[in-house]
Amino acid sequence: MRALKYLILLVAIPVFALAQEPSVLFSNAKDAYDQGNYSAAIQDYRQILRQGIESASLHFNLGNAYFKSGELGEAILHYEKAAKLAPRDQDIKYNLQIARARIQDQINPPPMSFVIKIYNGIKYWLSLNELAWTTILLALLTSLFFAGWWLVRSERLNRLARSLFIIGIILLIFTTPLLISRTLEAHHEKYGIVLDPELKVYSGPQTISTEVFVIHEGTKVQVEREQDNWYKIQLLDGKEGWVQDQSVGVI
């Protein structure tokens, strides 16, 4: 029995140590950042990412370390990833705005109507995970209200359940299309950030193709296609071309 206890202890210790490692790395990275050792902070934060752990705060802090190191492309990439996970976080929005102001290529997208702006504001107010869980919870509650409407004998409670059921249906009619649209976007639309200080864009997926234009670090692009080690990209103003994939970090 004592041998069994020792065996359990030997198995538990490395598991416990492994579970503690990300928090230790995060603490070490924060200390390194506070001391101005941004390269050490970046190394620790990236080690956490390599363990398959992601969070808005992790990407935000990593973006800050890259920004302090003068790596604008990597900073914007991780601010964008943080904003994707926490779209209402004001600190992330502010730092992303500051970083974007330093981009050499200030490309303005086509103007949007007021209605589209309002729609997009509502559509992206929640992260995709938040929207999914909200829709699932609404569906469950609406089902319960429907059951209460049919099963509860009290007239007052019956009317309440019916009213809540109707409200639930209205909310589901609103959130479900948004969830479907966001899910399709997540699967079919891919965006990236230019990481190289200067990146040549070609007419085809090879360096012997014609160079059509040049973009710079921090520029946001839409990745339309992948071929071998190349991305076909489109800028916010509609320009298209091919770049080598290692030069673009996918959000």
What is d(CA 12, CA 7) in angstroms, rounded to the nearest whole number?
9
Looking at the chain, the whole-number percentage of residues with pLDDT higher than 90 is: 73
Kindly write down the DSSP assignment for every residue of 72-86, as one continuous string.
HHHHHHHHHHHHHH-
What per-residue confidence (pLDDT) applies to 17? 41
What per-residue confidence (pLDDT) applies to 154? 85
Global pTM reads 0.82
**pLDDT-based confidence at 135, cuts 50/70/90?**
very high
What is d(CA 217, CA 194) in angstroms, rounded to the nearest whole number?
5
pLDDT surpassing 50 at residue 134:
yes
User: Which residues lie closer than 8 Å to 105 by C-beta, 6 or more apart?
Assistant: 215, 216, 218, 219
What per-residue confidence (pLDDT) applies to 8? 35
| 8 Å CB contact between 38 and 69 | yes
Sign of CA dihedral 40, 44, 50, 54: negative
pLDDT in tens, 87-97: 999 999 999 99
Q: Vertex 128, ends 138 and 164: CA angle to 5°? A: 10
What per-residue confidence (pLDDT) applies to 2? 40
Q: What is the largest CA-CA distance in the chain?
A: 78
| 8 Å CB contact between 45 and 60 | no
Residue 200 burial (CB count, 10 A): 17
Residue 146 burial (CB count, 10 A): 17
What is d(CA 139, CA 161) in angstroms, rounded to the nearest whole number?
14
pLDDT in tens, 149-199: 888 888 888 899 999 999 999 999 999 999 999 999 988 889 999 999 999
Q: 23: which 2 tokens? A: 């928090």
Which residues does residue 206 pair with via DSSP β-bridges, in sequence order? none
Q: Which of 108, 62, 69 is nearest to 85 (CA)?
A: 62
What is d(CA 89, CA 96) in angstroms, rounded to the nearest whole number?
11
What per-residue confidence (pLDDT) applies to 102? 95
User: Which residues lie closer than 8 Å to 83 by C-beta, 6 or more apart?
Assistant: 56, 89, 92, 93, 96
Residue corresponding to tokens 């509502």: 122
DSSP-derived secondary structure letter, 205: S
pLDDT in tens, 3-58: 433 333 333 334 444 444 888 998 999 999 999 999 999 999 999 999 999 999 99
Lowest mean pLDDT among 5-9, 103-107, 227-231, 232-236: 5-9
Residue 145 burial (CB count, 10 A): 19
What per-residue confidence (pLDDT) applies to 6? 35
What per-residue confidence (pLDDT) applies to 112? 79
What per-residue confidence (pLDDT) applies to 167? 96
What is d(CA 243, CA 226) in angstroms, rounded to the nearest whole number?
10
Average pLDDT, the chain: 89
Average pLDDT over residues 226-246: 94
DSSP-derived secondary structure letter, 111: P
What per-residue confidence (pLDDT) applies to 16? 40
